[in-house]
Amino acid sequence: MNKFRIFIATTTFFALALVLFGINHISNAKPASIVDKQFEIVDKQSEKIEPVLVKSEKLCGTDHDPVKIAEAEEDFKTRKANARTQAEVNGLEAASATSATGGVINVYFHVVYSGTKGNISDAMIADQMTILNQAFATWGYSFNRISTDRTNNTTWYNGCYGSAERKMKSALHQGTADDLNIYTCNPSNGILGYATFPSSYTRSPSLDGVVLLDQSLPGGTAAPYNEGDTGTHEVGHWMGLYHTFQGGCTGSGDYVSDTPFEASAAYGCPQGRDTCTTTGFDPIENFMDYTDNSCMFQFTGGQDERMDSQFTTYRLGK
């Protein structure tokens, strides 16, 4: 009888343990629909897991790694100091002759497509150029399309944000540091576009330029990001601007004094949004936020000064 009781107690214990394990396993498991919407980028060397990006979000893929930005800003500071010293030697007249305060930027437009997908019309390209010229005109910059080429390559079309970027750009890139190369294709994982910063040119000149989701151009299907200001946003990066929410509410932010601090990216058009309460309302109308194209319409004077200085330092005549 005692052996029977011991057997029953042991069986009951294991049964309860299995039930509790099953409940805990179910409670910790994510539904497949959520898992399918996420991806992680793993740095195998450091085994560091980067923040998860949700595919349904429309994101800018420009590299805003804080360490790289800090290094770039230190280099920028040093180069500006050296330029000031040289200006004192050569005289102010010579210095002003080699400083950008606007000008005409030549554009090489590269349409990468796959069969019937992505071979956007000349009208869409022309409309995109019009949007860029309208956005930057106040600050003295204009964009002159020199040429348009078209490449039917499925691998490049679908891999332009990732494995195929280097081959695509190495084959198509034209011009020098002060010429703008724009590529349209189909970036993955909800990416609307991405760009290289001016400080990156010396290290990788063939990678320099702006990449855009083809359907973000005016008349495309990527609503509410299909009025051409994804292009404006990415060219802003190419000219040296960061996101308005760079760094959140502390530190140097986007390194521009007249854009209020912003804790995180804004979506839609949230009037009156104020995530950093000591600096004024969030700059949701700024081209360097994440709001709908219809919401954004401006750069600031401080951003113009930074674009001039970045272009002079890293692009003009390079």
Q: Indicate which residues carry an active-site annotation.
A: 234
For residue 11, the SS3 value is: helix
Contacts of 243 (CB under 8 A, 6+ apart): 60, 64, 254, 265, 288, 289, 290
Whether the bond between 205 and the residue before it is cis, its omega within 30 degrees of 0, is no
Find the helix or strand (DSSP H, E) in which 215 lies.
Answer: none
Asked if residue 37 lies in contact with residue 56, where contact means CB atoms within 8 angstroms, the answer is yes
Q: What is the C-alpha to C-alpha distance for residues 214 and 240, in angstroms, rounded to an integer? A: 23
167 phi and psi, to 5 degrees? -65, -45
Q: Give CA–CA dist 206/296, Å, rounded.
A: 31
Give the relative orientation of helices 301-314 and 66-90 as an angle to the nearest 10 degrees.
80
On the question of a cis peptide bond just before residue 224, with omega within 30 degrees of 0, the verdict is yes
**Token couple for 30:** 């994510």
Look at residues 172, 180, 183 and name the one whose alpha carbon lies nearest to residue 133: 180
